[in-house]
Amino acid sequence: MPFPERLSSGYTTFIEGRFDRERARYQDLAARGQKPEIMVVGCCDSRVSPEVIFDAIPGELFVTRNVANLVPPYQPDGDLHGTSAALEYAVQVLRVKHIVVLGHAQCGGVGAFANESEPLSPGDFIGKWMSMIAPAADTIPGEYRNRPDYQRRLELASVENSLRNLMTFPCISILVERGKLQLHGAYFGVATGELLARDPQTGSFEPVCDVVGGARSMIRCD
């Protein structure tokens, strides 16, 4: 099968445009290695690219993505743990200063958990993975279960749960307690473009910027 034409044409645009303009930066990254200060744990949803949302340049963000942007608890059990390996590398090797758990609206993984969807395959990889969200669901009062905003509440609660799970990693909790590493929660509105950031004092998610306007809203950051 031929390589997807969309990717071929996109690469051509990249190599003749951005890469050509930023060739020196790429060469420097190749020679010196990466030194990002921020790690983002994001969802693999195609609509929520951290590099696009934060307008990042090459080498600026260390990103790991999985279904529903989940951070598992620390489990040194000998099994294979992709997200945990990425966290370990970011903290122990790259020495990042910030870890951001980036949730988002209309998350398919959270929706599958909230709606108790049937397994997609005999292995039910998604169902087993999403079982990690159960502690987050337990923090939401039962009366919200059938309300229209239940999934949004669960998406936000899941970010909170992942932040708690981050603190179960000794290499992370030690650095946080020493003030050398900061943990952040954030939430992106796919339809609106609004970004919410978690206030570490109150636990509430507040807009990073003001969103003004109607259907064609604009975002203003002062």
* DSSP character at residue 54: T
CA distances, 218 to each of 154, 193, 209, 213 (Å): 27, 9, 10, 6
Active-site annotation holder among 18, 21, 43, 124: 43
- Beta carbons within 10 angstroms of residue 34's beta carbon: 13
Q: DSSP letters of 84-129?
A: HHHHHHHHHTS--SEEEEEEETT-HHHHHHHTTPPPSSTT-HHHHH
Active-site annotation holder among 25, 65, 77, 104: 104
* DSSP character at residue 131: G
Per the annotation, the verdict on 221 as an active-site residue is no
Active-site annotation holder among 44, 47, 65, 209: 47
Active-site annotation holder among 18, 32, 45, 124: 45
Please tell me the distance from the alpha carbon of residue 79 to that of residue 154, in angstroms, as a whole number: 28
Active-site annotation holder among 28, 65, 107, 145: 107
Residue 142 in tokens: 């039962």
CA distances, 176 to each of 63, 141, 184, 187 (Å): 19, 30, 11, 22
Per the annotation, the verdict on 43 as an active-site residue is yes
Among all chains, which residue has been given the structure tokens 């990249």? 14
Among all chains, which residue has been given the structure tokens 């997807």? 4
Residue 1 in tokens: 């099968």
Per the annotation, the verdict on 184 as an active-site residue is no
Active-site residues: which are they? 43, 45, 47, 104, 107
